[in-house]
Structures are given as structure tokens and as C-alpha cells.
Amino acid sequence: MSGRVAFLAHCLLNPLAKIQGASANETLSKKVLKTLMENRCGIIQLTCPELLHGGLARWGQTRDQYSSVFFRKHCQGLAEVIADGKTFGGIRRYHLH
């Protein structure tokens, strides 16, 4: 492994993990995975921030609609959980394996 790690929401890895009725972009998921594998980059799969924020019954929103204080605070909280080392036994420990 290259020592690099990508943190990706599961909705980027699984094109079917979208809101009901949305089209699945399998091409994007394949490109992302191919690029990471070619560069020997590790992957840590995260939960979808939109799913955690809006639930399964959420409706589609635009980028501008997600650009709110509430959603940004939600995403910041998710990032802090990962950065504090409690997730995955600590990011530094991940590199040891």
C-alpha cells in the first residue's frame, strides 16, 4: 500500500445508495475505485452524511440546499468523530497494518 488513505462516503462507492428514484451513476463509482486501486490507496468507507442527516425518506436536494449552517455543522461533527481517533481504532493505527 502507498500509505495513502481515502475516506469516502458509501454513496460514492455504491451507486445504488441514493434517494429513491435517483439515477445510479455506476461510471463514477467505477472510476473512483479504479483510480484508488491503481494508486494502491487504502479506502475507509464512511456513512453517507446526507443519509444520516435526512434519513431514508429524505428528498433530493441541490448543492445550494446542503450548503447550510446546519448541514455543515453535521458534517463537521462526523469529521471530528473520525479525527479524534475513536473510529477504526485510530487513523494512525490504520497505517500500521
Q: What is the pLDDT of residues 44-66, one digit of tens each?
A: 888 888 888 887 777 778 888 88
CA distance 24 to 14: 9
Which amino acid type is present at position 77? G
CA distance 30 to 36: 10
**pTM across the whole model:** 0.63
CA distance 6 to 69: 25
Q: What is the pLDDT of residues 6-51, one digit of tens each?
A: 888 888 887 777 666 666 667 888 888 899 999 999 888 888 888 8
